[in-house]
Chain A
Amino acid sequence: MSVLEQDSAGAPARASLLNDPKVRGLFYQFLLVSVLVATGYFIVTNTIANLERQNISSGFGFLETTAGFGIIQALVPYAETSSYGRAIYIGFLNTLLVAVIGIFLATIIGFVVGIARLSNNWIISQIAYWYVEFIRNVPLLLQIFFWYFAVLRAVPGKREKWSLFDTFHLNIAGLRGPKPIFEPGADIIGWVLVAGIIATFVVRRWAKKRQDETGQQFPVFWTALGLIIGLPVLAFLVMGMPITLEHPVFNDTGPRLRQGFELGVGINLIPEFLALTLALAIYTAAFIAEIVRAGIQAVSHGQTEASHALGLRNAPTLRLVIIPQAMRVIIPPLTSQYLNLTKNSSLAVAIAFPDLVSVGGTVLNQTGQAVEIIAIWMIVYLSLSLATSAFMNWYNQRMALVER
């Protein structure tokens, strides 16, 4: 060993500089950087020249200008006199709304279908199988069109309705439902809910610690149920029921033109929103179902048998042995499906639901600020995706198997 080292140190077998991997590496990297810089310079100069020729001033100053177009769904107050920046903000909120509700629905449908796929019942597993295969292999845009143009246009017109439990009403203007009205004192219920959630975490930690030390179990689930649901309900009753429901009002008498729902009473979900959210949830659920199935199948049967041999019944086996191990496999691809759903919500532009891309497109057409608008899109979606991958790395580190 030492002879070798001396050899190489004493008489450095230096080949030609051209063949030194270090020098070559530096050269290639220098080449790449110069090509990139040259391309960047080419693009920037051309863009500046083109923008000058079209009389478009670059910069984000246009965000202050009055937008002058209406938006059919705004979560925070918006008027035609609001600025472009406000309009884009509304679009961003709508994207988030679709993503959150879509993720919620997709998770539920996906888990149900994924478990149904593993059912011993032949017909249930076949239905789940064909659901997954059919939905996965048909383009999402086609499904959005189907829900929007084929299903939600085939419902009753403005002057009629379909009702479910006399609470939810569907017609061509969308889905109407009761709207909660918060009266003074309602905020206390919200705080009680937050306190209940925090208390649940504290109780869970304490119960786990106690079990580790003494082996005694504590009914965490029932306590959590009481803290998260029971306490707010109690607060609701104590405060004298400060939340009331405002039901939509449907006029079916009087002149024909006055018939239909009264504007602004109750909650109205517009058809664009319904179609987009439904299509996204159903489409993504098919992928989630496959992930759930693979995750559960990844836990070997020996685990179930060992758990039964230890004397655990079916329910604790599932809860303590199977699910924790399956979740380790399920969560990383699940988060990437959530991200996909968020990115796919940009298809809203095809049915003119005002999400970030759709509103941004309108602003782009009005102002011609292509570079700025596309930069805003990219920054928003990139930060969402970077945040997701940061979460995934954190989760993977936490969940990684700790081996001896």
Chain B
Amino acid sequence: MANAEIFHVRTEEAPTLPAPVSTTGVIGWMRKNLFSSIGNTLLTLVGVYIAYSIIMPFIQFAFIDAVWTGDDRQACLATEPGQHIGACWAYVEAYLPQFIYGRYPVEERYRVDIVYALFVLLLVPLLIPSVPRKGLNATLFLAVFPIITYFLLTGLVIGGTVILPIVETAVWGGLLVTLVIAVTGIVASLPIGIALALGRRSQMPIIKLVCVIFIEFWRGVPLITVLFMSSVMLPLFLPEGVTFDKLLRVLIGVTLFSSAYMAEVVRGGLQAIPKGQYEGAMALGLRFWPMMYLIVLPQALKLVIPGIVNTFIGLFKDTTLVLIVGMFDLLGQIQSSFSDPTWSTPSQGHTGYLFAAIVFFVFCFGMSRYSIFMERKLHTGHKR
């Protein structure tokens, strides 16, 4: 008991002190990530300067100096010398219908709206993994929706009675053309790409050779030459008198081009399926096609969803090239609006390009986020 008098024995725990102020909270975070050393501090200062010199002029141009309303170019002109005029959003507002529908007749634009609405209605449940009935949804989206869209957009005449007035594809434009080309390109290239990927892995030498040559040919040439080819050479290949719609020619070129890329994406998925799956299917007595569509393709296609989305992003950006062969996609429509004297101001070009950049960025960034999300989701599914 004498010890008890000599030693102090702690009966309760010492109070936990808070971590030093310099290592927690905002200050700690800043010390760790921004000012951990002299070099790092210098880097931070350089970084702040770069960010400041990019963001400030942008905010100045897009918001502070911007003109939001107006009826013509007068609104976006400097009234006194030295005044800076930023983005002319009034011009974008005035042209918005053209950017969305092109020169599609005003009274028929509800048809385009229906197509947009159907597209969103069918696509969104397809993209959310937890929504059931994916098979039905995919069939509706990939098979029924294109047919409805075709008649809605081009028009429908049955036996002389006009149900929907014909609208020439020459007056289509803007976002409509961009989406039509990108979505048709991807949807049509999927089956061709699967066939090519299977052909490339085939045991039959001639089929394999033909598929390899086809894929490497389209992957080796730039899209712009493909577009030239489809718009200049395709008419030469056809018998006299047979002509194609210009949009259809572009669609054929884009589909062939993207099917080669799709084939490589699908091939990656096929290669990732373990050999045991093929052998198991064969052991069950399945023939080639049942083995493919019951066992291999469902697994392989699920694996390559991120790859397909990435191909789609590439194609979506590449649709802008059609303006070189004289079609008006979103960028083409914006570019052609610059020649309108009603809105011709010094900041018109900058505003138009900024608007196009924002639209493309929102679409593509959203899709790439989705692709990353799917990749994570699929990855956990295959964790051991």
* Min C-beta distance of B22 to chain A, whole Å: 17
Mark interface residues in A36-53 (1 if CB within 8 Å of B CB, else 0): 100000110011011101
A403 to B216, CA, bound (A): 31
Q: Within residues 184 to 227 of chain A, which ones have a CB less than 8 A from any CB in chain B?
A: none
Identify which of residues 205-229 in chain B touch chain A, using a CB-to-CB cut-off of 8 Å.
Answer: 205-207, 210, 216-217, 219-222, 224-225, 228-229
- Tell me which residues across on chain B come within 8 A of A53, comparing CB atoms: 240
Contact A364 B222 (CB under 8 A): no
A88 at the interface (CB under 8 A from B): no
A127 touches B47 (CB 8 A): yes
Determine if B361 and A138 form an interchain contact, defined as CB atoms under 8 angstroms apart: yes
Specify the main secondary structure of chain B where it touches its partner.
helix
- Residues in B with CB closer than 8 Å to A384 are 220
B221 touches A381 (CB 8 A): yes
| A101: Cβ under 8 A from any B Cβ | no
Q: Residue among B46, B232, B318 with the most chain A CB within 10 A?
A: B232
Cα–Cα, bound, A25→B205 (Å): 9
Nearest residue in B to A365 (C-beta to C-beta)? B232
**A-B contacts besides A138-B360, A149-B353, 6 pairs, CB < 8 Å:** A121-B44, A121-B47, A124-B43, A139-B317, A381-B225, A386-B220
How many residue pairs at the A-B interface have CB separations less than 8 Å? Answer: 148
| A123/B353 in contact, CB under 8 A | no
Q: Among A74-82, A244-252, A319-327, A369-377, which stretch is in contact with chain B? A: A369-377
Provide the residues of chain A in CB contact with B360, threshold 8 Å: 137-139, 142
With A123-B44, A142-B320, A371-B236 as known contacts, state yes or no: A32 contacts B361, CB within 8 Å.
no
Q: Contact at B240–A50, with CB atoms within 8 Å?
A: yes
CA distance in complex: A364, B224 (Å): 14
Q: Which of B205, B217, B235, B349 contacts A150 (CB 8 A)?
A: B349
Report A-chain residues with C-beta under 8 Å of the C-beta of B44.
121, 123-124
Contact of B357 among A138, A357, A371 (CB under 8 A): A138
Residue on B with the closest CB to A146?
B353
A33 touches B (CB below 8 Å): yes
Q: Which residues of A contact B136 (CB under 8 A)?
A: none
Question: Residues 278-316 of chain A: 1 if any B CB is under 8 Å from the residue's CB, otherwise 0?
Answer: 000000000000000000000000000000000000000
Chain A nearest Cβ from B264, distance in angstroms? 11
| A121-B33, A134-B361, A138-B361 as given contacts; A374 in contact with B204, CB under 8 Å | no
Q: How far is the CB of A47 from chain B (nearest CB, A)?
A: 5
The answer to the question of B313 belonging to the interface, with a C-beta cut-off of 8 Å to chain A, is yes
Determine whether the beta carbon of A123 is less than 8 Å from that of B51: yes
Between A and B, 10 residue pairs with Cβ closer than 8 Å are A28-B207, A29-B204, A120-B33, A121-B47, A123-B34, A123-B44, A136-B364, A137-B364, A350-B323, A382-B221
Q: Encode A11-32 as 1/0 by CB contact (under 8 A) with B.
A: 0000000000000010011001
Is residue B68 contacting chain A, with contact meaning CB distance below 8 A? no
Q: Would you call A142 and B206 a contact (CB within 8 A)?
A: no
Q: Which residues of A contact B (CB under 8 A)?
A: 25, 28-29, 32-33, 36, 42-43, 46-47, 49-51, 53, 119-124, 126-127, 133-134, 136-142, 145-146, 149-150, 153, 343-344, 346-347, 349-350, 357, 361, 364, 370-371, 374, 377-378, 381-382, 384-386
A142-B356 in contact given A36-B210, A377-B225 (Cβ < 8 Å):
yes
Closest to B30 in A: A122
Q: Which 8 A-B pairs have the closest CB atoms?
A: A137-B364, A385-B220, A123-B47, A122-B33, A139-B317, A343-B222, A29-B206, A346-B222
Q: A32-B207, A127-B47, A371-B233 are in contact. Are A378 and B353 (CB under 8 A)?
A: no
Q: Is A145 touching B335 in the complex (CB atoms < 8 A)?
A: yes
